[in-house]
A and B are shown apart, each in its own frame.
Chain A
Protein backbone atom coordinates (compact mmCIF):
# COMPACT_ATOMS: atom_id res chain seq x y z
CA UNK A 1 0.00 0.00 0.00
CA UNK A 2 1.52 3.33 -1.04
CA UNK A 3 0.62 6.19 1.31
CA UNK A 4 1.67 9.78 1.91
CA UNK A 5 2.93 10.82 5.33
CA UNK A 6 2.95 14.45 6.57
CA UNK A 7 6.07 14.98 8.66
CA UNK A 8 6.11 17.63 11.44
CA UNK A 9 9.05 20.00 11.87
CA UNK A 10 10.77 18.08 14.70
CA UNK A 11 11.08 14.98 12.46
CA UNK A 12 12.23 16.68 9.26
CA UNK A 13 15.89 16.29 10.08
CA UNK A 14 15.30 12.61 9.25
CA UNK A 15 13.71 13.46 5.90
CA UNK A 16 16.25 16.03 4.69
CA UNK A 17 13.76 18.79 5.46
CA UNK A 18 10.94 17.31 3.35
CA UNK A 19 7.47 17.80 4.86
CA UNK A 20 5.66 14.97 3.06
CA UNK A 21 7.17 11.59 2.25
CA UNK A 22 5.88 8.38 0.62
CA UNK A 23 5.80 5.11 2.54
CA UNK A 24 4.47 1.57 2.19
CA UNK A 25 2.65 -0.79 4.51
CA UNK A 26 -0.70 -2.44 5.23
CA UNK A 27 -1.04 -0.98 8.73
CA UNK A 28 0.19 2.05 10.68
CA UNK A 29 2.71 -0.24 12.36
CA UNK A 30 4.03 -1.41 8.99
CA UNK A 31 4.17 2.15 7.69
CA UNK A 32 6.27 3.19 10.70
CA UNK A 33 8.63 0.26 10.01
CA UNK A 34 8.93 1.40 6.40
CA UNK A 35 9.58 5.00 7.49
CA UNK A 36 12.38 3.66 9.69
CA UNK A 37 13.92 1.84 6.69
CA UNK A 38 13.76 4.95 4.52
CA UNK A 39 14.59 7.50 7.25
CA UNK A 40 16.55 5.77 10.03
CA UNK A 41 15.80 7.24 13.48
CA UNK A 42 12.10 7.90 12.89
CA UNK A 43 10.79 4.86 14.76
CA UNK A 44 12.45 5.80 18.03
CA UNK A 45 10.83 9.22 17.85
CA UNK A 46 7.36 7.75 17.34
CA UNK A 47 7.38 4.61 19.47
CA UNK A 48 8.49 3.99 23.05
CA UNK A 49 10.58 1.03 24.25
CA UNK A 50 7.49 -1.20 24.36
CA UNK A 51 6.58 -0.39 20.78
CA UNK A 52 3.59 1.76 21.72
CA UNK A 53 3.02 5.18 20.21
CA UNK A 54 4.58 7.81 22.46
CA UNK A 55 2.29 9.77 24.75
CA UNK A 56 2.85 13.07 22.95
CA UNK A 57 2.58 11.76 19.39
CA UNK A 58 -0.74 11.90 17.55
CA UNK A 59 -1.19 10.02 14.28
CA UNK A 60 -4.11 10.75 11.98
CA UNK A 61 -5.27 8.45 9.17
CA UNK A 62 -7.25 10.40 6.58
CA UNK A 63 -7.93 12.96 9.29
CA UNK A 64 -9.07 10.49 11.97
CA UNK A 65 -7.10 10.01 15.18
CA UNK A 66 -5.93 6.38 15.01
CA UNK A 67 -6.77 5.91 18.68
CA UNK A 68 -10.41 5.99 17.55
CA UNK A 69 -9.61 3.35 14.90
CA UNK A 70 -7.45 0.34 15.64
CA UNK A 71 -4.52 2.34 17.07
CA UNK A 72 -1.16 1.15 15.76
CA UNK A 73 -2.82 -1.81 14.01
CA UNK A 74 -5.18 0.41 11.97
CA UNK A 75 -5.32 -0.83 8.38
CA UNK A 76 -4.20 1.48 5.60
CA UNK A 77 -4.92 1.35 1.89
CA UNK A 78 -3.43 2.80 -1.28
CA UNK A 79 -3.56 6.56 -1.43
CA UNK A 80 -4.28 7.09 2.27
CA UNK A 81 -3.06 10.26 3.97
CA UNK A 82 -1.24 9.93 7.26
CA UNK A 83 -0.35 12.90 9.46
CA UNK A 84 2.08 12.79 12.35
CA UNK A 85 1.37 15.68 14.73
CA UNK A 86 2.86 16.47 18.12
CA UNK A 87 0.12 16.54 20.76
CA UNK A 88 -0.86 20.07 21.65
CA UNK A 89 -3.29 21.06 24.28
CA UNK A 90 -6.06 23.29 23.09
CA UNK A 91 -7.45 26.26 24.76
CA UNK A 92 -10.74 26.95 23.14
Chain B
Protein backbone atom coordinates (compact mmCIF):
# COMPACT_ATOMS: atom_id res chain seq x y z
CA UNK B 1 0.00 0.00 0.00
CA UNK B 2 1.09 3.51 -0.65
CA UNK B 3 -0.35 7.00 -0.52
CA UNK B 4 1.47 8.26 -3.59
CA UNK B 5 -0.43 8.67 -6.80
CA UNK B 6 2.01 9.59 -9.57
CA UNK B 7 4.90 11.77 -10.69
CA UNK B 8 4.01 15.24 -11.93
CA UNK B 9 6.14 17.82 -13.75
CA UNK B 10 6.52 20.93 -11.62
CA UNK B 11 6.76 23.07 -14.76
CA UNK B 12 4.15 21.86 -17.23
CA UNK B 13 2.01 19.51 -15.11
CA UNK B 14 2.53 16.43 -17.29
CA UNK B 15 1.92 13.24 -15.25
CA UNK B 16 3.87 9.98 -15.25
CA UNK B 17 3.45 6.65 -13.43
CA UNK B 18 5.68 6.03 -10.39
CA UNK B 19 9.03 4.96 -11.87
CA UNK B 20 12.74 5.85 -11.72
CA UNK B 21 12.24 8.95 -13.84
CA UNK B 22 13.37 12.43 -12.87
CA UNK B 23 12.83 14.85 -15.73
CA UNK B 24 9.76 15.64 -17.76
CA UNK B 25 10.07 14.32 -21.29
CA UNK B 26 8.24 17.36 -22.59
CA UNK B 27 10.00 20.30 -20.95
CA UNK B 28 12.87 18.81 -18.89
CA UNK B 29 11.24 20.19 -15.74
CA UNK B 30 11.78 18.28 -12.49
CA UNK B 31 9.21 15.66 -11.49
CA UNK B 32 7.61 15.59 -8.08
CA UNK B 33 5.71 12.87 -6.23
CA UNK B 34 2.01 13.55 -5.64
CA UNK B 35 -0.02 12.15 -2.73
CA UNK B 36 -3.61 11.35 -1.87
CA UNK B 37 -3.87 13.73 1.09
CA UNK B 38 -7.51 12.88 1.87
CA UNK B 39 -6.55 9.25 2.53
CA UNK B 40 -3.49 10.29 4.54
CA UNK B 41 -5.61 12.63 6.66
CA UNK B 42 -7.90 9.70 7.49
CA UNK B 43 -5.01 7.35 8.23
CA UNK B 44 -2.79 9.31 10.63
CA UNK B 45 -3.02 11.42 13.75
CA UNK B 46 -0.63 13.02 16.23
CA UNK B 47 -1.06 10.12 18.65
CA UNK B 48 -0.41 7.46 16.01
CA UNK B 49 2.81 9.20 15.02
CA UNK B 50 3.90 9.83 18.61
CA UNK B 51 3.70 6.10 19.43
CA UNK B 52 6.12 5.18 16.65
CA UNK B 53 9.91 4.72 16.96
CA UNK B 54 12.06 7.85 16.93
CA UNK B 55 13.17 7.79 13.30
CA UNK B 56 12.14 9.47 10.07
CA UNK B 57 9.76 6.63 9.14
CA UNK B 58 7.29 7.81 11.79
CA UNK B 59 5.95 10.03 8.97
CA UNK B 60 5.89 7.14 6.47
CA UNK B 61 2.44 7.95 5.03
CA UNK B 62 3.92 11.23 3.78
CA UNK B 63 6.94 9.54 2.20
CA UNK B 64 6.99 8.02 -1.31
CA UNK B 65 7.47 4.36 -0.44
CA UNK B 66 5.43 1.18 -0.71
CA UNK B 67 4.30 0.38 2.84
CA UNK B 68 3.30 -3.19 1.96
CA UNK B 69 6.75 -4.01 0.69
CA UNK B 70 8.15 -6.70 2.97
CA UNK B 71 11.70 -5.44 2.64
CA UNK B 72 13.03 -3.47 5.59
CA UNK B 73 12.87 0.32 5.41
CA UNK B 74 16.42 1.64 5.03
CA UNK B 75 17.72 3.92 7.79
CA UNK B 76 16.06 2.50 10.91
CA UNK B 77 17.89 5.04 13.07
CA UNK B 78 18.00 8.01 10.70
CA UNK B 79 16.19 11.21 11.51
CA UNK B 80 14.45 12.40 14.67
CA UNK B 81 17.51 14.40 15.63
CA UNK B 82 17.39 16.81 18.59
CA UNK B 83 15.66 20.18 18.49
CA UNK B 84 17.53 22.15 21.13
CA UNK B 85 16.21 25.24 22.89
CA UNK B 86 19.35 27.42 22.89
CA UNK B 87 19.31 29.81 25.83
CA UNK B 88 22.98 30.77 25.85
CA UNK B 89 23.19 31.35 22.10
CA UNK B 90 19.78 33.01 22.24
CA UNK B 91 21.05 35.45 24.87
CA UNK B 92 23.98 36.40 22.59
CA UNK B 93 21.55 37.08 19.75
CA UNK B 94 18.78 38.67 21.84
CA UNK B 95 16.32 35.85 21.10
CA UNK B 96 14.19 34.15 23.76
CA UNK B 97 12.94 31.26 21.62
CA UNK B 98 15.90 30.17 19.53
CA UNK B 99 16.14 26.50 18.56
CA UNK B 100 18.79 24.52 16.73
CA UNK B 101 17.62 21.54 14.69
CA UNK B 102 20.72 19.44 15.09
CA UNK B 103 21.43 17.10 12.17
CA UNK B 104 25.12 17.00 13.15
CA UNK B 105 24.09 13.83 15.01
CA UNK B 106 21.98 12.18 12.33
CA UNK B 107 22.56 8.43 12.10
CA UNK B 108 24.73 6.94 10.67
CA UNK B 109 26.81 9.58 8.84
CA UNK B 110 26.17 12.83 10.74
CA UNK B 111 24.39 14.98 8.18
CA UNK B 112 20.90 15.65 6.87
CA UNK B 113 21.79 13.47 3.87
CA UNK B 114 20.94 10.40 5.94
CA UNK B 115 17.30 11.45 5.51
CA UNK B 116 17.21 11.71 1.73
CA UNK B 117 19.37 8.62 1.29
CA UNK B 118 17.21 6.47 3.61
CA UNK B 119 14.21 7.25 1.46
CA UNK B 120 15.93 6.95 -1.93
CA UNK B 121 17.67 3.64 -1.16
CA UNK B 122 14.45 2.19 0.22
CA UNK B 123 12.91 3.18 -3.12
CA UNK B 124 15.87 1.82 -5.12
CA UNK B 125 15.31 -1.62 -3.54
CA UNK B 126 11.59 -1.40 -4.25
CA UNK B 127 12.36 -0.72 -7.94
CA UNK B 128 14.73 -3.71 -7.93
CA UNK B 129 18.03 -1.86 -8.41
CA UNK B 130 21.11 -3.70 -7.17
CA UNK B 131 23.61 -0.85 -7.64
CA UNK B 132 23.27 2.60 -6.10
CA UNK B 133 25.43 5.59 -6.85
CA UNK B 134 25.81 9.33 -6.52
CA UNK B 135 27.81 12.35 -7.59
CA UNK B 136 29.16 13.91 -4.44
CA UNK B 137 32.05 15.59 -2.71
CA UNK B 138 31.24 14.60 0.84
CA UNK B 139 28.16 14.23 2.98
CA UNK B 140 26.04 12.59 0.32
CA UNK B 141 28.84 10.17 -0.62
CA UNK B 142 29.28 8.92 2.93
CA UNK B 143 25.52 8.60 3.45
CA UNK B 144 25.00 6.61 0.24
CA UNK B 145 27.99 4.35 0.95
CA UNK B 146 26.89 3.61 4.52
CA UNK B 147 23.21 2.99 3.77
CA UNK B 148 24.11 0.85 0.70
CA UNK B 149 26.37 -1.28 2.88
CA UNK B 150 23.60 -2.04 5.37
CA UNK B 151 21.07 -2.62 2.57
CA UNK B 152 23.47 -5.03 0.85
CA UNK B 153 23.71 -3.07 -2.41
CA UNK B 154 26.66 -2.40 -4.71
CA UNK B 155 27.80 1.22 -4.50
CA UNK B 156 29.76 3.55 -6.80
CA UNK B 157 30.68 7.07 -5.68
CA UNK B 158 31.84 9.75 -8.12
CA UNK B 159 33.86 12.72 -6.85
CA UNK B 160 35.90 15.51 -8.43
CA UNK B 161 39.66 15.01 -8.13
CA UNK B 162 41.43 16.81 -5.33
CA UNK B 163 38.82 16.24 -2.64
CA UNK B 164 40.18 15.78 0.87
CA UNK B 165 41.51 12.34 1.76
CA UNK B 166 38.98 12.09 4.58
CA UNK B 167 36.09 12.12 2.16
CA UNK B 168 37.58 9.34 0.06
CA UNK B 169 38.29 7.26 3.18
CA UNK B 170 34.84 8.09 4.57
CA UNK B 171 33.21 6.47 1.54
CA UNK B 172 35.67 3.69 0.70
CA UNK B 173 35.53 2.30 4.24
CA UNK B 174 31.94 1.15 3.62
CA UNK B 175 33.02 -0.92 0.64
CA UNK B 176 31.98 1.57 -2.03
CA UNK B 177 33.99 1.92 -5.23
CA UNK B 178 35.16 5.54 -5.36
CA UNK B 179 35.94 7.09 -8.73
CA UNK B 180 37.50 10.54 -8.89
CA UNK B 181 36.98 12.56 -12.04
CA UNK B 182 39.42 15.04 -13.51
CA UNK B 183 37.17 18.10 -13.30
CA UNK B 184 34.95 20.02 -10.87
CA UNK B 185 31.68 19.04 -9.23
CA UNK B 186 29.56 20.20 -12.15
CA UNK B 187 31.65 18.02 -14.49
CA UNK B 188 31.03 15.05 -12.20
CA UNK B 189 27.30 15.74 -12.15
CA UNK B 190 27.18 15.92 -15.92
CA UNK B 191 29.07 12.65 -16.35
CA UNK B 192 26.88 10.92 -13.77
CA UNK B 193 23.67 11.82 -15.52
CA UNK B 194 25.13 10.23 -18.65
CA UNK B 195 26.23 7.14 -16.69
CA UNK B 196 22.77 6.85 -15.10
CA UNK B 197 21.27 6.78 -18.60
CA UNK B 198 23.67 4.17 -19.90
CA UNK B 199 24.21 1.78 -16.98
CA UNK B 200 20.76 1.70 -15.40
CA UNK B 201 22.03 2.36 -11.88
CA UNK B 202 20.09 4.11 -9.15
CA UNK B 203 21.77 7.49 -8.79
CA UNK B 204 20.06 8.75 -5.67
CA UNK B 205 20.29 12.40 -6.66
CA UNK B 206 19.62 11.89 -10.38
CA UNK B 207 17.14 9.25 -11.53
CA UNK B 208 15.76 8.75 -8.01
CA UNK B 209 15.67 12.47 -7.38
CA UNK B 210 11.87 12.82 -6.98
CA UNK B 211 11.96 10.24 -4.16
CA UNK B 212 15.27 11.39 -2.67
CA UNK B 213 14.13 14.99 -2.24
CA UNK B 214 10.96 13.90 -0.41
CA UNK B 215 13.17 12.57 2.39
CA UNK B 216 14.15 16.16 3.18
CA UNK B 217 10.58 16.85 4.30
CA UNK B 218 11.22 14.82 7.46
CA UNK B 219 13.44 17.65 8.74
CA UNK B 220 10.37 19.91 8.67
CA UNK B 221 7.95 17.30 10.08
CA UNK B 222 10.25 16.80 13.05
CA UNK B 223 10.67 20.52 13.74
CA UNK B 224 6.88 20.93 13.92
CA UNK B 225 6.33 17.85 16.09
CA UNK B 226 9.20 18.76 18.42
CA UNK B 227 7.81 22.27 18.88
CA UNK B 228 4.58 20.63 20.10
CA UNK B 229 2.84 20.32 16.73
CA UNK B 230 3.23 23.93 15.66
CA UNK B 231 5.35 25.76 13.12
CA UNK B 232 8.17 28.15 14.03
CA UNK B 233 7.71 31.82 13.15
CA UNK B 234 11.03 31.61 11.28
CA UNK B 235 13.26 28.85 9.98
CA UNK B 236 16.68 29.55 8.47
CA UNK B 237 17.93 26.93 6.00
CA UNK B 238 21.15 26.60 3.99
CA UNK B 239 20.87 26.54 0.19
CA UNK B 240 23.16 24.62 -2.15
CA UNK B 241 21.42 22.69 -4.94
CA UNK B 242 18.10 23.79 -3.50
CA UNK B 243 16.69 20.51 -2.20
CA UNK B 244 15.99 21.00 1.47
CA UNK B 245 14.50 24.49 1.69
CA UNK B 246 11.50 23.97 -0.62
CA UNK B 247 10.93 20.54 0.95
CA UNK B 248 10.76 21.98 4.48
CA UNK B 249 8.19 24.46 3.19
CA UNK B 250 6.32 21.57 1.55
CA UNK B 251 6.46 19.57 4.81
CA UNK B 252 4.90 22.46 6.75
CA UNK B 253 2.12 22.79 4.17
CA UNK B 254 1.45 19.06 4.19
CA UNK B 255 1.12 18.99 7.99
CA UNK B 256 -1.62 21.60 7.68
CA UNK B 257 -3.18 19.78 4.73
CA UNK B 258 -3.51 16.48 6.63
CA UNK B 259 -4.73 18.14 9.82
CA UNK B 260 -1.70 17.61 12.09
CA UNK B 261 -1.22 21.34 12.79
CA UNK B 262 -3.66 24.23 12.99
CA UNK B 263 -1.84 27.33 11.80
CA UNK B 264 0.20 27.13 8.61
CA UNK B 265 2.07 30.42 8.96
CA UNK B 266 5.86 30.52 8.85
CA UNK B 267 8.66 32.47 7.20
CA UNK B 268 11.48 30.49 5.59
CA UNK B 269 14.87 32.14 4.99
CA UNK B 270 17.74 31.01 2.75
CA UNK B 271 21.42 31.14 3.72
CA UNK B 272 24.29 30.94 1.23
CA UNK B 273 28.03 31.44 1.48
CA UNK B 274 29.08 34.76 -0.08
CA UNK B 275 31.41 32.84 -2.40
CA UNK B 276 28.58 30.73 -3.82
CA UNK B 277 25.36 32.73 -3.66
CA UNK B 278 23.53 32.61 -7.01
CA UNK B 279 20.13 32.20 -5.32
CA UNK B 280 20.61 35.08 -2.87
CA UNK B 281 21.81 37.33 -5.70
CA UNK B 282 18.57 36.63 -7.56
CA UNK B 283 16.51 37.07 -4.38
CA UNK B 284 18.06 40.46 -3.66
CA UNK B 285 17.70 41.57 -7.28
CA UNK B 286 14.04 40.59 -7.32
CA UNK B 287 14.43 38.29 -10.31
CA UNK B 288 13.62 34.63 -11.01
CA UNK B 289 16.68 34.33 -13.20
CA UNK B 290 19.55 32.59 -11.45
CA UNK B 291 22.94 33.29 -12.99
CA UNK B 292 25.42 30.45 -12.28
CA UNK B 293 28.66 31.31 -10.45
CA UNK B 294 32.01 29.59 -9.96
CA UNK B 295 32.01 28.79 -6.22
CA UNK B 296 34.80 30.03 -3.97
CA UNK B 297 34.13 29.42 -0.26
CA UNK B 298 35.25 27.28 2.66
CA UNK B 299 31.67 26.01 2.84
CA UNK B 300 32.38 23.19 0.38
CA UNK B 301 29.24 21.21 1.16
CA UNK B 302 27.07 24.06 -0.13
CA UNK B 303 29.38 25.27 -2.93
CA UNK B 304 27.07 24.62 -5.87
CA UNK B 305 27.30 27.37 -8.46
CA UNK B 306 24.50 26.07 -10.67
CA UNK B 307 21.60 25.11 -8.38
CA UNK B 308 18.95 23.28 -10.40
CA UNK B 309 16.27 23.82 -7.75
CA UNK B 310 17.27 27.42 -7.01
CA UNK B 311 14.10 28.65 -8.67
CA UNK B 312 12.01 26.70 -6.17
CA UNK B 313 14.04 28.10 -3.28
CA UNK B 314 13.17 31.62 -4.45
CA UNK B 315 9.53 30.68 -4.78
CA UNK B 316 9.30 29.06 -1.32
CA UNK B 317 11.09 32.00 0.33
CA UNK B 318 8.93 34.61 -1.39
CA UNK B 319 5.65 32.72 -0.87
CA UNK B 320 6.35 32.57 2.88
CA UNK B 321 7.37 36.22 3.19
CA UNK B 322 10.90 35.15 4.12
CA UNK B 323 14.24 36.56 3.06
CA UNK B 324 17.85 35.45 2.79
CA UNK B 325 21.41 36.62 2.99
CA UNK B 326 25.03 35.59 2.57
CA UNK B 327 27.87 34.94 5.01
CA UNK B 328 31.53 35.57 4.23
CA UNK B 329 34.14 32.95 5.13
CA UNK B 330 35.25 34.85 8.30
CA UNK B 331 31.59 35.24 9.35
CA UNK B 332 31.07 31.51 8.79
CA UNK B 333 34.04 30.62 11.00
CA UNK B 334 32.95 33.05 13.73
CA UNK B 335 29.47 31.50 13.74
CA UNK B 336 30.85 27.94 13.94
CA UNK B 337 32.91 29.00 16.96
CA UNK B 338 29.98 30.84 18.55
CA UNK B 339 27.69 27.81 18.24
CA UNK B 340 30.33 25.47 19.64
CA UNK B 341 31.23 27.84 22.52
CA UNK B 342 27.64 28.59 23.59
CA UNK B 343 25.77 25.35 22.89
CA UNK B 344 28.35 22.58 22.51
CA UNK B 345 27.43 21.87 18.88
CA UNK B 346 30.21 21.62 16.29
CA UNK B 347 28.77 22.40 12.85
CA UNK B 348 30.36 22.16 9.42
CA UNK B 349 30.73 25.45 7.49
CA UNK B 350 27.21 25.10 6.03
CA UNK B 351 25.94 25.34 9.61
CA UNK B 352 28.15 28.33 10.28
CA UNK B 353 26.69 29.96 7.18
CA UNK B 354 23.14 29.37 8.38
CA UNK B 355 23.77 30.72 11.87
CA UNK B 356 25.68 33.74 10.52
CA UNK B 357 22.75 34.57 8.24
CA UNK B 358 20.27 34.11 11.10
CA UNK B 359 22.29 36.68 13.07
CA UNK B 360 22.06 39.09 10.13
CA UNK B 361 18.30 38.63 9.89
CA UNK B 362 17.99 39.47 13.60
CA UNK B 363 20.14 42.59 13.15
CA UNK B 364 18.05 43.62 10.14
CA UNK B 365 14.94 43.45 12.34
CA UNK B 366 13.38 40.69 10.26
CA UNK B 367 13.35 38.37 13.28
CA UNK B 368 11.89 39.77 16.54
CA UNK B 369 13.16 38.88 20.06
CA UNK B 370 10.07 36.92 21.14
CA UNK B 371 9.52 34.96 17.94
CA UNK B 372 10.18 31.24 17.62
CA UNK B 373 13.24 30.76 15.43
CA UNK B 374 14.75 27.50 14.17
CA UNK B 375 18.27 27.46 12.74
CA UNK B 376 18.91 24.38 10.60
CA UNK B 377 22.29 22.77 11.21
CA UNK B 378 22.68 20.11 8.55
CA UNK B 379 26.22 18.73 8.90
CA UNK B 380 28.95 17.93 11.42
CA UNK B 381 32.15 19.91 11.97
CA UNK B 382 34.24 16.83 12.71
CA UNK B 383 34.14 16.10 8.97
CA UNK B 384 35.56 19.53 8.05
CA UNK B 385 38.25 20.16 10.66
CA UNK B 386 40.52 21.81 8.09
CA UNK B 387 37.99 24.64 7.64
CA UNK B 388 38.52 25.93 11.18
CA UNK B 389 41.85 24.38 12.23
CA UNK B 390 43.85 27.55 11.58
CA UNK B 391 41.21 29.86 13.10
CA UNK B 392 41.19 28.46 16.61
CA UNK B 393 43.43 29.01 19.60
CA UNK B 394 46.41 26.67 19.50
CA UNK B 395 47.02 24.37 22.48
CA UNK B 396 49.70 25.26 25.04
CA UNK B 397 52.63 22.88 25.38
CA UNK B 398 54.43 22.51 28.71
CA UNK B 399 56.56 19.98 30.56
CA UNK B 400 54.91 17.71 33.12
CA UNK B 401 55.77 19.97 36.08
CA UNK B 402 53.23 21.69 38.33
CA UNK B 403 55.20 24.96 38.45
CA UNK B 404 55.16 25.10 34.65
CA UNK B 405 51.37 24.79 34.74
CA UNK B 406 51.16 27.46 37.48
CA UNK B 407 53.10 29.85 35.26
CA UNK B 408 50.99 28.98 32.24
CA UNK B 409 47.75 29.44 34.21
CA UNK B 410 48.92 32.90 35.27
CA UNK B 411 49.56 33.79 31.64
CA UNK B 412 46.23 32.36 30.43
CA UNK B 413 44.29 34.33 33.04
CA UNK B 414 46.53 37.42 33.06
CA UNK B 415 47.20 36.69 36.73
CA UNK B 416 43.65 37.75 37.59
CA UNK B 417 42.21 34.38 38.47
CA UNK B 418 43.18 31.95 41.18
CA UNK B 419 42.82 28.19 41.25
CA UNK B 420 39.33 27.23 42.49
CA UNK B 421 40.61 25.21 45.47
CA UNK B 422 42.85 28.06 46.63
CA UNK B 423 40.13 30.71 46.41
Is B194 touching A83 in the complex (CB atoms < 8 A)? Answer: yes
Q: Which residues of B contact A6 (CB under 8 A)?
A: 194
B27 touches A56 (CB 8 A): yes
Rounded to whole angstroms, the CA-CA distance of A55 and B312 in the bound complex is 12
Name the one of B187, B193, B240, B292 contacting A8, with C-beta atoms under 8 angstroms.
Answer: B193
B311 at the interface (CB under 8 A from A): yes
- Stretch among A23-31, A63-71, A72-80 lining the B interface: A63-71
Give the complex CA separation of A88 and B240 in angstroms.
Answer: 12
A45-B27, A85-B190 as given contacts; A90 in contact with B241, CB under 8 Å: yes
Is there a chain A Cβ closer than 8 Å to B183's Cβ?
A: yes
Tell me whether B28 and A87 are in contact (CB under 8 A).
yes
Task: List the A side residues contacting B134 at CB < 8 Å.
Answer: 91
Query: Which of B136-144, B322-330, B339-347 lines the interface with chain A?
Result: B136-144
* Chain B residues, CB < 8 A from A67: 291-292
A90 near B240 with CB under 8 A, answer yes
Among listed B122-130, B219-227, B302-310, B393-401, interface-contacting one: B302-310
CB-based contact A54/B28 at 8 Å: yes
Measured as residues with beta carbon below 8 angstroms from the partner, the interface class of chain B is 35 or more
Docked CA distance A65–B27 (Å): 19
- Chain B CB within 8 A of A50 CB: no
Tell me which of B23, B292, B304 contacts A86 (CB under 8 A): B23
Report chain B residues within 8 Å CB of A57: 28
CA of A51 to CA of B27, assembled, Å = 14
A91 in contact with B140 (CB, 8 Å): yes
Contact B309 A89 (CB under 8 A): yes
With an 8 A cutoff between CB atoms, is B113 at the interface? yes
A68 near B292 with CB under 8 A, answer yes
Q: Are A91 and B306 in contact (CB under 8 A)?
A: no
Tell me the complex Cα distance, A19–B309, Å.
26
Q: Is B15 an interface residue (CB 8 A)?
A: no
Whole-angstrom distance between the Cβ of A4 and the nearest chain B Cβ: 13
What is the chain A residue whose CB lies nearest that of B192?
Answer: A88
Q: How far is the CB of A54 from chain B (nearest CB, A)?
A: 6
B28, B206, B240, B309: which has the most chain A beta carbons within 10 Å?
A: B28
Check B193–A86 contact: CB distance below 8 A: yes
Taking the nearest CB of chain B, how far is it from the CB of A91, in angstroms?
4
Q: Determine if B230 is an interface residue (Cβ-Cβ < 8 Å).
A: no
CA distance A88 to B188 in the complex (A): 11
- B204: chain A residues at CB < 8 Å are 91
Alpha-carbon distance between A33 and B43 when the two chains are bound, in angstroms: 53
In contact, B241 and A65 (Cβ under 8 angstroms): no
Q: Which 9 interchain pairs have the tightest Cβ spacing?
A: A89-B241, A89-B308, A87-B308, A90-B241, A56-B28, A86-B23, A89-B309, A91-B205, A10-B25
Residues of chain A having any CB pair with chain B under 8 Å: 6, 8-10, 13, 19, 45, 54-58, 60, 63, 65, 67-68, 83, 85-92
7 pairs, CB–CB < 8 Å, chain A vs chain B: A8-B197, A45-B28, A56-B11, A56-B30, A63-B187, A88-B206, A90-B240
Besides the known contacts A65-B186, A91-B204, 6 further A-B residue pairs in the complex with CB atoms under 8 A apart:
A54-B28, A86-B23, A89-B209, A89-B308, A90-B241, A92-B300
